Chains A and B, each alone.
Chain A
């Protein structure tokens, strides 16, 4: 009669296959439960996520990520038990590579193929530095909250995004990963193998080729533009004519001094409005076949 009673008392799995080893203690009574402040992560909240979807045969169990943790599991007494073999919190003593190995065991393929040669991997960034696994709302995977995570390290970009000319990132219509693939090893961690190919995903009208081209446009959009935000209009690193005069000769009006016209002046708009682009309207390239010198200088 004692045997069935013992079986009844044995802890059963709550979420994952074999998780009773852990959820015997980390149960609903112990769980901190998700709150607005989220000061202590809820262990059981993993059940709300894809990692907690047991019907998917690939889903790991607690010890797949945290290790068998025998000392932790077998601890007796009322004092604090030793930590699990592999921990992922901010104060974890587990080496970053060991933490990442837990993720790469399943996530090495596809978009994470080149993780080991990425900048993040080589700066000791752990997967869990950005991702929260035990949370249905992984901030870094949400367009509206992703910047909170990225700005943890990238302070300069946080400041730049505050400037008047910016991509709609603060408004939640774009996110850092619209342009950046931090799991890959492309230059500047971009989603494509070059700056221009990345920009063309949204600005394909600039791809050309154009009948009359502008050399730096064909080379790298980043020569003239600072995509994270600027005071100068159109995300320009420096406003025209300063920017243009850093390459172009002073012949004719090109070297004009910077200044503002008074009302009634109908010719000296080299600094105001769109400055040089007031006239050189096709600055990214012209497709005009007009037999006219103006076309060659991108004024058509």
Chain B
């Protein structure tokens, strides 16, 4: 009897060891899972949980993918309610699906020579994030906890890049270290809670600059060493059983004062240019919240938030001429007020109404002499967004629960900083101010969402979701360009059916579609020498389908199967309307417009687990996977692989089929 009870109440552990094989390369599907190549892999996982019941002391060890390049392992000691420490090692790999055929010399270094190799070589670019995490917890006295978390990450590898001002392959060498420290001291009673602490983060790169030869060297810069220090305090107080107030205070200083490597290259920089930016951004957050239930059926939630991002970087001149010779500081002060109330209409129905007003003050960049800088994209000094929300919700029913919600958000702005003067000959007279930038344009958003769960029988449950959203950008005759309309649509159904106590089925299907209509202008010099309006009609549609089966076939044999299908279509409609009314002129050696992109993915996975005895199982996994796309991103118009003017060719496999078979032995113990 004791053994039976122990089996039910003591922590479980297991170790599994096996081997699996992919039959073919999976450049797209294996981008992140550490199994890109068609070959055999070790399958090693473990989860060991031991607890001393007398002291409440846990010893835990967990490993995932120990036989793969993206392995992770975590060990933990915890004397529950007293002290705990854990250490974790984790690798995240990313393999670029493309193969690059190039003569670039020096990949992986900070000096690269285009066409420096005598013959072409095939490269696969990728990065590895190697993370080490250390956590410490100590309960200092009842209700008072100290927490510390330190994370170190080394990121190494190479990323697709180009020469700069020219489409010519170079590989950005990545060799950087990131550290993050989070400490907090938290005190909690039933009535009052307070938590404060320090967060620090540091980024250090070993590759601040990449030099590209031959000819006059090109110097490419990367993100430089930077750091941030934040103090925070968060508190909550229960004024009564139904009324609670909270506050948050945060102050962060982020700096970037690394050496600017290009300043040391003779003749490259303007005389007197600083060799460090001394960048400094100060972020302040002050927030107050109140949640209350003033009467039995009404609950209220109010929030006032002040968030200020203040760029205090000194303004210096970094190059002569042009529009942006001086450092450009952008600061944002956002004040958000929110009030939301929920009224219980009866036992099942409730109505929620909410209003949120977000007001943002935005700086415009100043020159060193204090004057406002010319801008090529119009800016707004102020943005306001008012969002109203209404939701009717049905809950606590055994058969049908759900909600209908409607949202309206209207964004407007003012005190615009207009773009500099500029005209496109006789065609466009205010060149820079005819566009409404997507992040600041006046916009009205309407969104309707219906979601409900229905359980018509004990065995069957269904879930429906339908969403429709529409964005309307309020462009004017004087500024007709930019986004015009946006749409979002989602229909989804999920079903779960318990066939018997030994078998369960689930299925789901989702259709989603996002679209936008956009108007852009093509100037005299934009190719074709034919000023024209371009009307873009973009649409992205996804169809996702899933089917799952789980069956306890016998007391020893468990079976499972999952089918996942995904089909997406992206359409890129373009209509060119020359202003002179003529037909569009074809451009030489160029095909105007692009085809739809269709992508299909199928993954059928099956497993069976057979219990050899109480302590050991064997598991068999079989997967069939297919991927197909006609994505033209890396092809010429005739379908051949894209080559840049330097001769590097970018190869991607539009069709990938691979099969996996794996077997594991699982040992279970307590």
Q: Which residues does A use to contact B, with CB under 8 Å?
A: 14-15, 28, 31, 33, 35-37, 39, 42, 44-48, 50, 52-58, 91-93, 95-97, 105, 108-110, 113-114, 116-117, 122-124, 136, 144, 152-153, 155-156, 158-160, 162-164, 168, 171-174, 185, 187, 193-194, 197, 200-202, 204-213, 215-216, 218-220, 223, 230-233, 238-239, 242, 245-269, 271-274, 278-279, 281-282, 284-297, 299-300
Whether the Cβ atoms of A274 and B162 lie closer than 8 Å is: yes
The answer to whether B268 touches A231 (Cβ under 8 A) is no
Tell me what chain A mostly uses at the interface: helix, strand, loop, or mixed.
Answer: loop
A296 to B320 alpha-carbon distance, docked (Å)? 10
Contact of B319 among A95, A239, A292, A299 (CB under 8 A): A292
9 interchain pairs, CB-CB under 8 A: A54-B53, A113-B236, A122-B352, A153-B451, A155-B492, A253-B525, A256-B522, A281-B162, A291-B320
CB contacts (< 8 Å) of B340 on chain A: these are: 122
Report the Cα distance A8→B438, complex, angstroms. 76
Q: Once the chains bind, are A155 and B439 in contact (CB under 8 Å)?
A: no
Residues of B within 8 A of A37 (CB): 498, 501-504, 550, 552
Binds A, one of B114-122, B538-546, B657-665: B538-546
Which residues does chain A contribute within 8 Å of B32, judged by CB atoms? 168, 171, 173
Q: Are A249 and B301 in contact (CB under 8 A)?
A: no
Chain A nearest Cβ from B648, distance in angstroms: 10
In the assembled complex, how far is the CB of residue A1 from the closest CB belonging to chain B, in whole angstroms? 25
Interface residues of B in 19-70 (CB under 8 A from A): 28, 31-33, 49, 51-58, 64, 70
* A230 / chain B contacts, CB cutoff of 8 Å: 540
A97 contacts which chain B residues (CB < 8 A)? 293, 299
Check A144–B64 contact: CB distance below 8 A.
yes
| A219 and B512 in contact, given A250-B424, A260-B594 (Cβ under 8 angstroms) | no
* Contacting pair A172 B167 (CB below 8 A): no
B526 within 8 A of partner (CB): yes
Query: Does A108 contact B188, Cβ atoms closer than 8 Å?
Result: yes
Q: How many B residues face the partner with a CB closer than 8 A?
A: 210
Question: Does A113 lie within 8 Å of B482, measured CB to CB?
Answer: no
CA distance in complex: A260, B299 (Å): 57
Residues of B within 8 A of A171 (CB): 32-33, 70
B171, CB-defined interface residue at 8 Å: no
Q: Does B328 contact A (CB under 8 A)?
A: yes
Within the complex, what minimum Cβ distance (angstroms) separates A61 from chain B?
A: 14
B429 at the interface (CB under 8 A from A): no
Query: Which among B81, B143, B307, B609 is the interface contact of A57 at CB below 8 angstroms?
Result: B81
Q: Using known A-B contacts A279-B167, A290-B219, determine if residue A39 contacts B504 with beta carbons closer than 8 Å.
A: yes
Is there a chain A Cβ closer than 8 Å to B616's Cβ? Answer: no
> Which of B167, B203, B252, B609 sits near A204, CB closer than 8 Å?
B203
Q: Which residues of A contact B180 (CB under 8 A)?
A: 201
Interface string of B283-305 (1 = CB under 8 A from A): 10100010101000001010100
Closest A-chain residue to B241, C-beta based? A101
| Known contacts A172-B64, A255-B522, A258-B593: A114-B289 contact under CB 8 Å | yes
User: Which of chain B's residues have a CB closer than 8 A to the CB of A212?
Assistant: 318, 324, 328
A293 to B194, CA, bound (A): 52
Q: Chain B residues with Cβ under 8 A from A257's Cβ?
A: 522, 526-528, 532, 534, 574, 576, 584, 587, 592-593
Determine which of B11, B55, B289, B299 lies in contact with A48 in the assembled complex, contact meaning CB atoms within 8 Å.
Answer: B11
Cα(A48)–Cα(B7), bound, Å: 9
Contact A251 B422 (CB under 8 A): yes
Question: What CA separation (Å) do A123 and B352 show in the bound complex?
Answer: 9
Contacting residue for A207 out of B226, B328, B377, CB 8 A = B226
Residue from B8, B184, B393, B521 within 8 A of A250 (CB atoms):
B521
Which chain A residue lies CB-closest to B274? A289
Knowing A273-B634, A289-B262 are in contact, say whether A215-B342 is a contact too (CB < 8 A): no
Instruction: Judge if B213 is at the interface, Cβ distance under 8 Å.
Output: no
CA–CA, A294 to B51, complex, Å?
A: 63
Question: How far, in whole Å, are A50 and B78 apart by their CA atoms in the complex?
Answer: 10
- B408: Cβ under 8 A from any A Cβ: no
B414 at the interface (CB under 8 A from A): no
* Contact across chains for A289 and B322 when beta carbons are under 8 A apart: no
Which B residues touch A42, using CB under 8 A? Answer: 8
Do B307 and A194 touch across chains, with their CB atoms under 8 A apart? yes
Cα distance A15–B594 in the bound complex, in angstroms: 66
Is B404 close to A, CB under 8 A? Answer: no
